[in-house]
Structure 1
Amino acid sequence: MIAASDSLAIAAPPLQPVSAPAGLGAVAAYWVPAARWEEARADWDELAAAAAEPNVFLAPGFALAARGAVASAGLGALLVTRDGLLIGLVAGRFHLLRSVFSLWTHDYAPYGMPLVRPDEAGAVIGALVSFLADQGVAALETPLLDAGPVADALEALAASHPTFVLDAHRRAVLTEAPPPLSKEHRRLARRLGEQGRLETVSTATGYALPAAVDAFLTLEAEGWKGRRGTALAATPATRAFFEGAVADLVPRGAAQIDMLLLDGRPVAAGLVLTAGARAWYLKTAYDEAFARFSPGLLLSRAIGASAIAAEGVRLVDSCAIPGHPMIERIWPGRMELTTRFIAVAEGRAGVRYRAALACRRGFAAAKGLAKRLLRR
């Protein structure tokens, strides 16, 4: 744990969580810039394993690797302790001239849940708001959160702090085995099998990780993401992120690369991450030479069936955009995700909060327009 004298120490108010006995003891909070996150690794690992709402994107191995591949200006984490025990880690960024603090999500982390011990959501959110008030921040943005203790604490906060819902949508998930493939997709699977020997392999069952990493990066780079320049192999930073994250998580059983091989040639590949009772189907790629057989869909259905059947897993998140034309046909479950924009100060919305909200809504509208134009 980083000592208070070595970081920005924030004395939190005498907060109590939702229920005892976890609420006994003094709460304190410390801001740790992203450049110093490694120093908190031991306590961070333990908290990630104990969190009431797991988030693999804040597993140290993933977050430390991602830090160098995405925008990191103003990035850090608020570490919240009770009598020296780490009870919460809230990663996020200051932006809009430090008027807004946003929980950390990015292109490779479509889930914003902070790491919080059971029964401590109220204490951690209270410490966060106190810290932000001391820093003169006007608004807290909480992107892509689902229902649970943290969302409940934010709803309680909304009773006295102006809150605007920037976005709410439903994402495809699995909470049980996916339905069987349609007649047409079974026909495509047979036709693909007629092209050669078809098999599914995984790093979880002994397939070599370096070969799987190279195969995934090659498939992605040769597809539409490569043409757009958004493939992981497109820059040294994003390639290093992917290689570093899987190298850390795979040996821990928190990640695996599954592939569909045809005569030993990869025709589809997918990355699955796991933390606690949840799995995330984060990345997928396929060989466009076999697109007529829908290898990506066939592998996605197989990955979902395997992931939800894994011991202890109760939900598999597709990480897909709303209305995704492939995954929503084969994964029937839905999870509500909400992005809130919360005033740090109590009472009526102040001028700085209203100005920040206007900027944020304008940015969202411009981003949405750009995506629609790219799809044309």
Structure 2
Amino acid sequence: MPETPAFQTGELGLEQMEAARGDWARLASGALEPNAFFSPGFLLAAARHFPPPERPRFIGVRDPGGALVGLFPLAAPGPSGTDGFLRLWRHELSALATPLVDRARPAETIAAFLDWVEAGRASAGVLFPRLPVAGAFHAALREATQGRRQLAVIETYARAALLPGASAVEKMAQAGGRKRLNELGRMRRRLGEMGALAVDVAAAPMAVRAAAEEFLALEASGWKAGRGALLFDAALATFLRSATRMLAEEGLCRIVALRLDGRAIAMMIAIESQNRSYCWKIAYDEGYRAQAPGIQLIGALTGLQLARPEIELTDSCAIANHPMIDRLWPDRIGVCDLAASARRSPDGAFRRACGQETLRRGLRGAAKAAAYRLLGRTPR
């Protein structure tokens, strides 16, 4: 009996990924589980404009016919090497790291990637950060590893999301209560007394390009001016311009603005993949802090998203227990960081790597909490 051709897994350079952009876009649009942060528009911009240590490495899986059926972007190793794990790429500007796998044979595709990791013999396993807990990829990963490799949950949390099934008013009342909703209404009326209040959505490529410049300027005018505004980092500003432009060309970027007499006082960049939308970046004019323009924008966005039947989930991309969005959106999605062993037989290296990762996160969390206490700030 002839041998069945195997899936082929290997690292692809930036030029190869650019040449395969059409196949990549098809994979993203039909992947088992969507992830806008691994779409061509987002990742190509990151690979071109981030500093070299922060750029993704592209690991592709092709089926026997040569079609791209899996994409597993990896983070560059740290100064100490792999530190026990190979890690799926996740920058601080991205909120998910779900690999793109073809929905026809997901378990085979994942198994081919893990076989490639095992053959490299350079790590104890792979760390998959920010996977939806109840997602299709999570289930396929468990199928691919069942009886073959170990899995361990390193961290899990829930974050706010918006699901269809009720009106914007009902959703926000469910999350924050009627009293809170009435207060937001009073703030909005005060804004309306200051001038003409309107909400607009930029979706066409040229409109998105102009709105992206507005967003960068708005973000730089506020509290982030000295602490992370993208406009003050040439590489990150170029990345945002490039990513929003490329995503808009594929119809996968929308920038929503709350305007007072035509001037943006709050803006949100949302990126999309398949039937999901991701609230990527938000900025607001602090001169109107008393009227909560950012919250007013989220209120308007809630209605806009619920009116779009093609969107089945809007992900807030927020931290757990976020003090703002958790009081506006009642729905939650579980997110986890999951590790898979590289070797098929149980060994101590994987268990030690998991223990070291858990300890490292605990120490980092304690140090961060102590720093916030010293600065008198609320953790974000």
Give the TM-score range, shorter chain: 0.7 to 0.9
Matched to 1:37, the amino acid is M
How far 1:159 moved relative to its partner?
4.5
Structure 1 unmatched ranges of 5 or more: 1-12, 15-24
Letter in 1 for 2:311: V
2:262 aligned partner? 264
Match of 1:97 among 64, 71, 81: 81
1:225 and 2:224 aligned: yes
Can you list the C-alpha shifts for 1:129-178, whole angstroms capped at 9, x where unaligned?
10001111211101111123321132232554333211111111011243
CA contact (8 A) 1:158 1:342 kept: no
What residue is the counterpart of 1:86 in the other structure? 68
CA distance in 2, matches of 1:278, 1:91: 20
Residue number among 29, 33, 52 corresponding to 1:49 in the alignment:
29
Distance in 2 (alpha carbons) for counterparts of 1:86 and 1:207: 31
| RMSD over equivalenced CA pairs, Å | 2.2
Residue 55 to residue 349, structure 1, CA distance change in 2 (3 Å): same
Could you tell me whether the CA contact under 8 Å between 1:203 and 1:256 is conserved in 2? yes
Q: Against the structure 1 CA distance between its residues 370 and 36, is the aligned structure 2 distance closer, same or farther, given a 3 Å change threshold?
A: farther
Distance 1:205 1:190, change over 3 A: farther
C-alpha distance in 1, partners of 2:348/2:295?
49
Q: Note if contact 2:205-2:248 (Cα within 8 Å) is conserved in structure 1.
A: no
Secondary structure of 1:371 counterpart: helix
Q: Distance in 2 between matches of 1:209 and 1:153?
A: 36
Question: Equivalent residue of 2:18, what SS?
Answer: helix
Residue in 2 aligned with 1:31?
11
Query: Deviations along 1:203-223, whole A, 9 cap, x unmatched?
Result: 127983343122211221122
Residue 73 of structure 1 and its aligned partner are, at CA, apart by 5.8
Which range is displaced more, 193-202 or 359-368?
Answer: 359-368
SS at match of 2:347: coil
Give me the whole-angstrom Cα distance separating, in 1, the residues matched to 2:204 and 2:338: 41
Find 1:322's aligned residue among 309, 320, 323.
Answer: 320
Q: Give the corresponding residue for 1:174.
A: 162
Alpha-carbon deviations, 1:308-333, whole Å to 9, x = none?
42241100000000000110111111
2:110 aligned with 1:125: yes
User: TM-score, normalized by length of structure 2?
Assistant: 0.86
| Shift, 1:349, TM fit | 3.0
Aligned to 1:134: 119
The counterpart of 2:45, out of the listed 61, 65, 73, is 65
Question: Hey, what does 1:18 align to over in structure 2?
Answer: none
> Structure 1 residues 313 and 153 mapped into 2: Cα distance closer, same or farther (>3 Å)?
same
Instruction: Rate the CA distance shift 1:193–1:132 in 2: closer, same or farther, 3 A.
Output: same
The match for 1:357 is: 354
- In structure 1, give the amino acid aligned to 2:139: D
**Alpha-carbon spacing, 1:159–1:200, altered in 2? closer, same or farther (3 Å):** same
Secondary structure in structure 1 of the residue aligned to 2:327: helix
What residue number does 1:144 align with?
130
C-alpha distance in 2, partners of 1:206/1:240? Answer: 16
Q: 1:74 Cα shift?
A: 7.8
CA contact (8 A) 2:32 2:101 kept: yes
Change (3 A) 1:204 1:131: same
- For residue 7 of structure 1, what is the aligned residue in structure 2? none
Structure 1 residues 71, 361: CA separation in 2 closer, same or farther (over 3 Å shift)? farther
Asked whether the 8 Å contact 2:46–2:56 carries over to 1, the reply is: no
User: 1:183: which partner in 2?
Assistant: 182
Asked whether 1:40 is paired with 2:25, we answer no
How high is the sequence identity, in percent, across the aligned residues?
A: 32
User: Residues 313-370 of structure 1: CA distance to partner in whole angstroms, max 9, x if unpaired?
Assistant: 100000000000110111111001111122111233323x344334422332243234
Q: Distance in 1 between matches of 2:74 and 2:107?
A: 18
Q: After TM superposition, where is structure 1 displaced by more than 6 Å over at least 4 residues in a row? A: none
Contact 1:94–1:100, Cα closer than 8 Å, also in 2 = no
For residue 249 of structure 1, report the CA deviation from its aligned partner. 1.2
Report the Cα offset of residue 34 of structure 1.
4.5
> Structure 2: which 5+ residue stretches go unaligned?
174-180
Change (3 A) 1:206 1:303: farther
